[in-house]
Amino acid sequence: MMDIQTASSGILVPASAYDYAALAEIYNDTRVDYIVPMPMNAARMKEYVRAYDIALDASFIVLDDGGEPVGIGMLGIRDDRAWITRLGVLPSQRGRRLGQALMDAMREAAWERGCRSIQLEVIEGNDPARHLFISNGFVDIRDLLVVRRPPRTGQTSPLLDITSKMTPIAPDDIAEILASRTDCPSWLDESPSLLQWGQLRGYEATTADGERTWVVYHAGTLQLTHFAFGPYIKASIARTLMFAVHTEHPRSDTKIENVPANSPYWPIMQSLGYIPTFTRQEMVLHR
Amino acid sequence: MARIVLIEDNALNARLAERILVRAGHTVETLTDGEQGYNWVLDNPPDIVLLDLGLPDIDGQTVAALIRQHPHLYHLPMVAFTAWPEAMAAEIAEAYGCDGVINKPIDARRFAQQVEGYLPLRQL
């Protein structure tokens, strides 16, 4: 096991030295007092690592003097971009600059692997984390919303577009459609994330004028998640696309993380029963 | 006295809640994830469910949605048991069909009464 002695009292080891159950346990322990705790089990941690291209050899666990894990930070890497996630330190160990040690190690790992930027999201209200990121040179990009829609939410009398042709997207065409994206999704909803989640479905709308747009999403057993949208044409078309999705999955709960707060699709979602849960700030550091 | 199902992954929170409710005369079954919790409720419908919203497999909102969509569980008293910010928790809990919210950390002196406040009278 490779050890990296940090400037603080903690010892950093690559997260690849731990199995998914241990990583989930460490992560959960660091989040017991989090604003919105979202614990994970081993299976969810494994999915997370795979779907979001987490490089476990560039992610770190910080140990106390007795060798017990007291913090975690994970790094996703796609081409020349990196993404910091799951960063946390046990409540009893905060104030020892262990978060900074994890940041230093992940930044160094990102630059060593040729990355030109590192991005992350921080939940609104987590002032200590935000302060840490700002002090490390990260700057705000935009606000992102985590939104939910319970199943069977009323969607009566929506103003639907009846002049456009609405068709399901064939599964084999979804990768090609995603390749045509022109939006700027967060890491969670980038096309590699969606493709790695799999179980993708979608609808395409073609207007009388020949304009095309679409929605693609992950249809899990219990939840619809990870939505990607084509170009925004007008509200009635966006509403019709989303209406089609929820008509097809009336019993599914829906959770969409990181909808840009200024997305033209957000008011449409609200009109179909979506509610905001909390806000994250997306931040970036360029090399 | 009531049969209570507590779906809570945090062992400390679960132990404290269970101890208080048992001392108040109730029986408590604690499940530590969403799938186990939902399946238990389905097989052994209790008098009330206390549901943590943040669970390690299926999250609490989705468990609430499953319970509310099941024809035999539609009217089951169900209370969100959460450390989320109060306003957020209240809005989400209501949207997902919970009858109310009990915030964590709990007030040990009031907790049993809070739970009992959501029970039908025949269970008291």
**Tell me, what CATH number does A41's domain have?**
3.40.630.30
* pTM, rounded to two decimals: 0.93
Q: For chains A and B, what is the number of CB pairs under 8 angstroms?
A: 56
A125 belongs to a structural domain? no
pLDDT at A1: 41
A37-48: average pLDDT: 96
The closest of A246, A216, A6, A29 to A148, measured between CA atoms, is A246
Tokens of B37: 């919790």
A136 belongs to a structural domain? no
Q: CB A156: neighbour CB atoms within 10 A?
A: 4
* Domain extent for B57: 9-123
Most A CBs within 10 Å, among B38, B53, B59, B62, to test the A interface: B62
Measured distance CA(A287)–CA(A61) in Å, rounded: 24
Is pLDDT of A157 > 70? no
CB contact under 8 A, B66 and A277: no
Segment (H or E) for B65: helix B60-69
A117-123: average pLDDT: 98
Tokens of B105: 């950390």
Q: Tens digit of pLDDT for each residue in A69-97?
A: 999 999 999 999 999 999 999 999 998 99
Reduce the DSSP state of residue B105 to 3 states and report it.
coil
* Domain extent for A32: 4-115
- A94 Cβ under 8 Å from any chain B Cβ: no
Measured distance CA(A141)–CA(B39) in Å, rounded: 42
Tokens of A165: 């042709």
What CATH code is carried by the domain that includes residue B73? 3.40.50.2300
Q: Closest residue of B to A38, CA-based?
A: B54
B55 belongs to a structural domain? yes
Is pLDDT of A149 > 80? yes
Burial of B123 (0-12, 13-18, 19+ CB in 10 A): middle
A71 belongs to a structural domain? yes
Considering only CB atoms, A39 lies closest to which of B55, B62, B66, namely B55
Provide the domain count of chain A.
Answer: 2
Provide the domain count of chain B.
Answer: 1
Q: How confident is the model at residue A162 (pLDDT cuts 50, 70, 90)?
A: confident
pLDDT at A83: 98
Considering only CB atoms, B69 lies closest to which of A44, A251, A255, namely A251
Q: Contacts of residue B85 in chain A, CB cutoff 8 Å? A: 35-36, 125
A247-255: average pLDDT: 95
Tokens of A88: 């946390």
B4 belongs to a structural domain? no
A161 belongs to a structural domain? yes
Most distant CA pair in chain A: distance in Å?
A: 68
B1 belongs to a structural domain? no
Report ipTM for this prediction: 0.91
Reduce the DSSP state of residue B30 to 3 states and report it.
strand
Cα–Cα separations (whole angstroms), residue A148 to A158, A272, A277, B100, B110: 19, 11, 7, 18, 31
CB contact under 8 A, A253 and B84: no
Percent of chain A with pLDDT over 90: 86
Is pLDDT of A61 > 80? yes
For chain A, give the DSSP string. Answer: ---EE-SSS-EEEEGGGS-HHHHHHHHHHHTTT-SS-----HHHHHHHHHHTTB-GGGSEEEE-TTS-EEEEEEEEEETTEEEEEEEEE-GGGTTSSHHHHHHHHHHHHHHHTT-SEEEEEEETT-HHHHHHHHHTT-EEEEEEEEEEE-TT----S----SSSEEEEPPGGGHHHHHHT--S---GGGSHHHHHHH--EEEEEEE-TTS-EEEEEEEE-SSEEEEEEE-----HHHHHHHHHHHHHH-TT-EEEEEEEETT-THHHHHHHTT-EEEEEEEEEEEE-
What's the average pLDDT block by block, 10 residues per block, for chain B (124 residues)?
Answer: 96 96 98 96 97 95 96 95 94 96 95 95 63
